[in-house]
Structure 1
Amino acid sequence: MRPWLNKSLSFGILGLFLIALGISFCFLWPTVFHQILQKELALSPTSRSFEMWKDTSNLPPMFMKIYFFNWTNPEELNIKKPHFNQVGPYYFKEVRQKSDIKFNHENKTVSYVQRRIWYFDEERSNGSLSDVITNLDAVTVSGVHKIRFWEVDWQKSLSFLLSSTNRRYYISKTVDELLFTGYSDNLLTMGKMMPIDDVPAFDRFGWFYTRNNSDMDGHLNMETGEDDISQLGILRKWNYRDTTKFFKSPCNVIEGSAGGFWPPYRTKNQISLFSVEICRTITYEYEGTVSHFGIEGYRYTIDKKTLGNDTRRRYPHEQAKYFERTTTTEDFFAAEHLSEMGITTTTESVADDSSSEKNTNEYSDDDPDVINMGNCYCDGECTPSGLMNVTACRFGAPAFISLPHFYKGDSMLLDQVGGLHPNDKDHSFTVTLEPMTGIPLEVIARFQINLLLQPSETVTVFNNVPKIYMPMFWFELKVKISEDMASDLRKLLALPTVMLSIGIAMIAIGLGLIATTVFLYFKNKRRVPTTDVTEKAVDESSDKKTEMVYMDKTSSNNEDPNVRGDRRLYAKLY
């Protein structure tokens, strides 16, 4: 084989190999990327995320900011609407630690207990823990609400007790007493002696009393994503149950993320999270695409699907037929649930994360598989849009959750009070996720705690009070990835582009080598050999006898015949 042909063949084989390898890079990068996510994101004792999840002490500090609403005119309740001044913020460094961690490899979950610790940061705070705040007396209001359907004699007994001790519907306490230290109250002691179900076993009241450095979040069981990364972070059980005791099915189902992890490959539909604080699932709706440290993220926010009261969800018949047909007190499949306070219902639907949205009006009223999730948590009476009723999981206290300053709530909530000024920048609740990996880029959690003040015909102190949802305080917890973490994430996200670019480059180089091979082949095939001598053909006829004599056809008379030359010798026939 000629040398030039060997070289051309080598170029051709190398070119074909590069093309095949390049095509593999172009088409197999999703599989390679998925395997990397499966290895790096799945939670295990040896994963990179485990230590950060287990203890946040070594991460950039996380702060909870608390703002109180100070009631400036409590004596004028029957004359003027309540006016509030926002006080704070009071900063608390928050540390989260997991204990009693057990990996259950048989069902790919991890069980744990979460402990939260708060440290007051006086330097950052705008105020001190000794600041005095005036607002509703939460213990008294809760007690009156708890017995509102009792026998009249019981209610009169409470009325007499409140009047004899000059109790009012408002109280003034320090920030420290209202939050962590708590304050004693005779009603708490009396409540333990009365035939009341679901009485808190506390000797003092404080919004965070006994919660600091405690495991009051309960026992949680979460998917690790060990075999299926699409299940990462999904909460399966809370306190050893997959349903809660506070609502009827399907409202009592525990579903959604546990909060620390989110599955990868997010869409622009919606995400969900189960909150142990309010004993229910919260839905976050896609708001838009934003950039964080140069990384594109999907921003989800709390809106009508969580705050509305007519958000519907269609379940497959095989699921719906097993649902209990009532909430705590009412049939929400048939009831039209309108509040006495003039609720404006919405027409949004609640769907699973993977399903498409559907307008409420498209559902048939006769469809037994359609559940009005907006009425799911009413606990007997639905509220104006913008509020979440958490009475059932807060010992019967008339507690309601909203966004700060009643942002995105019914206008009547804001009209009943003064001093609140909602806006999107300061009062929205958003979660921003990197869509390919599901890694949270930024979480801004904001909630406001409200108490319902309403009149009572029997309890004298509450005879003539108006029905108002009173704001108590709100908090903000903001968490975002650091620049170092963002840099690592950018490298991971660049991997598909790098693999695709390398694949295209290999294909281009391979095609170039094949083109070179073809060019060399035709070029050498057309080459005509040239020489300055002539050859005489040898007659190989069998009829002639020949003798081969080699002669030098280029010799000249000037050369020395005794010196051998290096010229070619040619055969001559005789």
Structure 2
Amino acid sequence: MGGRSRAHWVATGLGVLGLLLAALGAVMMVMVPSLIKQQVLKNVRIDPNSLSFSMWKEIPVPFYLSVYFFHVSNPDEILKGEKPQVEERGPYVYREFRHKTNITFNPNDTVSFVEFRSFQFQPDKSKGSENDYIVLPNVLVLGAAVMMENQPMSLKLFLTLALTTMGQRAFMNRTVGEIMWGYEDPFVNLISKYYPDMFPIKGKFGLFAGMNNSYSGVFTVFTGVQNFSRIHLVDKWNGLTKVNYWRSDQCNMINGTSGQMWAPFMTPKYSLEFYSPDACRSMKLVYHESRVFEGIPTYRFVAPKTLFANGSVYPPNEGFCPCLESGIQNVSSCRSGAPLFLSHPHFYNADPTLSEAVLGLRPDPKEHSLFLDVHPVTGIPMNCSVKLQLSLYMKSVKGIGQTGKIQPVVLPLLWFGQSGAMQGEPLRTFYTQLVLMPTVLHYAQYVLLALGGLLLLVPVIFLIRSQEKCYLFWSGSKKGSQDKEAIQAYSESLMSPAAKGTVLQEAKL
């Protein structure tokens, strides 16, 4: 009896434990998703107490700027009217540093800041040095020629004389460092004298001169503390709710975020929209596929084919015109009127006539497409590679001798890729707190339910087995008494005399 009593209490205890575990698992199934959502909302908003605030303030991801130049192999032949031939040189890689300053929280649930950027050359990652010489179109000369095409002939002849006096030619041979960060040029001094607001840097001209040791303008974005539905969206840029570079309100709108974080809890139906001061416009990327980056699930977003399409192919882009072939965007309106165009590298996703007009271009979706890999639960980018090309529209302009017989062409100057991937301690912290722990909690609820269910079976099985033993005991006792009665009756029949008339049969051997 003592052993059975102990087994009874053990089975009861395991049953109670199973009930508690199952109840805990059920409560977790209801509460865990809500807790995870609350933690994500708390930690992705722009708040000094949030987990992501330090990442937002000073991006821990190492960003790199890789620049590829299109060295012109036949400048003399181009001046005679032949097709341009280019050779890609690079990459010339720079470490990009970003940090936010003048952070000011406003009463309307927004925060204002400026982001400082600087670049340092990385010789070990580059294929060449900043002292390499590259032959490129002289943007100042050929750009000015196109800009003055419709001016009086006398003015164009004066420009030709001035350029000749200063030794300016249609093509230049300068170092990578000069092309990137600027060089002294008498023509720049002349233009700055009469048009002081044309160039941001006086006395120097460089394609990236305005980016190094510079600020990206004053962004004002929503923090998400009071109204989560607008988290990270840009409210104003430099005090403006829209720009005035383009010909339609839709194209001038400042949409999306500042390009560093997006709203959490994404689905494949979402798109990534952000405002780029360098492109002077808002851009939208679309969902492409689900991926995994260093154990972290991500959504990959890519540029749609309509990003740089012209108005005839994609009517909403009509406001970015005047346009040429589809696949390149005219950015002259935000580049002091210079005939510059933005596109994907090698005119990828553009009208084939553009790449066919220049020898040496090979558009490749693997090499020249851009993407962002974003963790959909938090909206934080894990891995990105944004690739863009800058090109110059050039042609022979009557009255400006430096342009020779150049046939109209959009000639690529360079393309660059800005890339970065989360790694090291920030990646481990992110994975542990925002991926591993939620995953553990998610599976723990099912483990508790399963274990609780198994433990609940213990008292049930014990009860069933106990009932079986009782049944066998009682049925065994009843059968034993019936046998005894039968044996006793048989014995009594043997002891009594045979009835009259009964024939005793002889046993046969």
* Contact map agreement 1:93 1:118 (CA 8 A) in 2: yes
Question: In structure 2, what residue type is equivalent to 1:53?
Answer: W
1:498 aligns with 2:499: no
C-alpha separation in 1, matches of 2:296 and 2:135: 45
Shift of the alpha carbon at 1:485? 3.8
C-alpha separation in 1, matches of 2:149 and 2:338: 12
CA distances 1:215-274 after superposition (whole Å, capped 9, x unpaired): 2x1111122232455543322211011101212302111111212212222222432221
The equivalent position to 2:104 in structure 1, one of 78, 102, 105, is: 102
| RMSD value, Cα | 3.0
User: Could you tell me which residue of structure 2 aligns to residue 569 of structure 1?
Assistant: none
User: Could you tell me which residue of structure 2 aligns to residue 43 of structure 1?
Assistant: 46
Write 1 or 2 for the structure with the bigger share of helix: 2
CA distances 1:137-195 after superposition (whole Å, capped 9, x unpaired): 1112222233334445434432443355553322222222211132223255235426x
1:455 aligns with 2:400: no
Where does 1:291-370 land on structure 2 (aligned, <5 Å)?
Answer: 291-310=292-311, 337=312, 345=313
User: Could you tell me which residue of structure 2 aligns to residue 290 of structure 1?
Assistant: 291
Give the SS at the match of 1:278: coil
When normalised by structure 2's length, the TM-score is 0.81
* Contact map agreement 1:446 1:474 (CA 8 A) in 2: yes
Q: Structure 1's 427 and 144: CA in aligned 2 closer, same or farther, altered over 3 A?
A: same
Q: Structure 1's 227 and 30: CA in aligned 2 closer, same or farther, altered over 3 A?
A: farther
User: Could you tell me which residue of structure 1 aligns to residue 349 of structure 2?
Assistant: 408
* Contact map agreement 1:134 1:171 (CA 8 A) in 2: yes
The equivalent position to 1:23 in structure 2, one of 18, 26, 43, is: 26
C-alpha separation in 2, matches of 1:208 and 1:523: 84
Q: Structure 1's 160 and 134: CA in aligned 2 closer, same or farther, altered over 3 A?
A: same
User: Could you tell me which residue of structure 2 aligns to residue 325 of structure 1?
Assistant: none
1:232 aligns with 2:231: yes
Which 10-residue stretch deviates more, 466-475 or 223-232? 223-232
Question: In structure 1, what residue type is equivalent to 2:238?
Answer: N
1:90 aligns with 2:92: yes
Question: In structure 2, what residue type is equivalent to 1:237?
Answer: K
Shift of the alpha carbon at 1:383? 2.5
* Contact map agreement 2:188 2:202 (CA 8 A) in 1: no
C-alpha separation in 2, matches of 1:296 and 1:156: 62
Shift of the alpha carbon at 1:377? 0.9
CA distances 1:112-140 after superposition (whole Å, capped 9, x unpaired): 11111111223433222222221111112
* Contact map agreement 1:293 1:483 (CA 8 A) in 2: no
Shift of the alpha carbon at 1:20? 3.7
User: Could you tell me which residue of structure 2 aligns to residue 373 of structure 1?
Assistant: 316
* Contact map agreement 1:303 1:408 (CA 8 A) in 2: no
Give the SS at the match of 1:376: helix
* Contact map agreement 1:233 1:259 (CA 8 A) in 2: no
Question: In structure 1, what residue type is equivalent to 2:417?
Answer: E
Give the SS at the match of 1:425: helix
Q: Structure 1's 457 and 296: CA in aligned 2 closer, same or farther, altered over 3 A?
A: same
Shift of the alpha carbon at 1:73? 0.7
Question: In structure 1, what residue type is equivalent to 2:316?
Answer: M
* Contact map agreement 1:283 1:305 (CA 8 A) in 2: no
User: Could you tell me which residue of structure 1 aligns to residue 488 of structure 2?
Assistant: none
User: Could you tell me which residue of structure 2 aligns to residue 568 of structure 1?
Assistant: none
C-alpha separation in 1, matches of 2:424 and 2:121: 26
Give the SS at the match of 2:131: coil
Give the SS at the match of 1:126: coil
C-alpha separation in 2, matches of 1:423 and 1:472: 18
Where does 1:215-294 land on structure 2 (aligned, <5 Å)?
Answer: 215=215, 217-229=216-228, 231-247=230-246, 248-269=248-269, 270-294=271-295
Percent of aligned pairs sharing the same letter: 29
User: Could you tell me which residue of structure 2 aligns to residue 169 of structure 1?
Assistant: 170
* Contact map agreement 2:289 2:301 (CA 8 A) in 1: yes
Which 10-residue stretch deviates more, 181-190 or 262-271? 181-190
Question: In structure 1, what residue type is equivalent to 2:65?
Answer: M
When normalised by structure 1's length, the TM-score is 0.73
Q: Structure 1's 485 and 200: CA in aligned 2 closer, same or farther, altered over 3 A?
A: closer
C-alpha separation in 1, matches of 2:239 and 2:453: 61
Give the SS at the match of 1:501: helix
Where does 1:145-160 land on structure 2 (aligned, <5 Å)?
Answer: 145-160=146-161
User: Could you tell me which residue of structure 1 aligns to residue 182 of structure 2?
Assistant: 181
User: Could you tell me which residue of structure 2 aligns to residue 55 of structure 1?
Assistant: 58
CA distances 1:534-559 after superposition (whole Å, capped 9, x unpaired): xxxxxxxxxxxxxxxxxxxxxxxxxx
Q: Structure 1's 419 and 26: CA in aligned 2 closer, same or farther, altered over 3 A?
A: same
Question: In structure 2, what residue type is equivalent to 1:93?
Answer: R
Question: In structure 2, what residue type is equivalent to 1:143?
Answer: A
* Contact map agreement 1:69 1:85 (CA 8 A) in 2: yes
Shift of the alpha carbon at 1:519? 6.1
User: Could you tell me which residue of structure 1 aligns to residue 120 of structure 2?
Assistant: 119
For structure 1, list consecutive stretches of 5 or more residues without a partner in the other structure: 311-336, 338-344, 347-371, 531-574
User: Could you tell me which residue of structure 2 aligns to residue 317 of structure 1?
Assistant: none
For structure 2, list consecutive stretches of 5 or more residues without a partner in the other structure: 475-509
Give the SS at the match of 2:435: helix
C-alpha separation in 2, matches of 1:165 and 1:497: 68
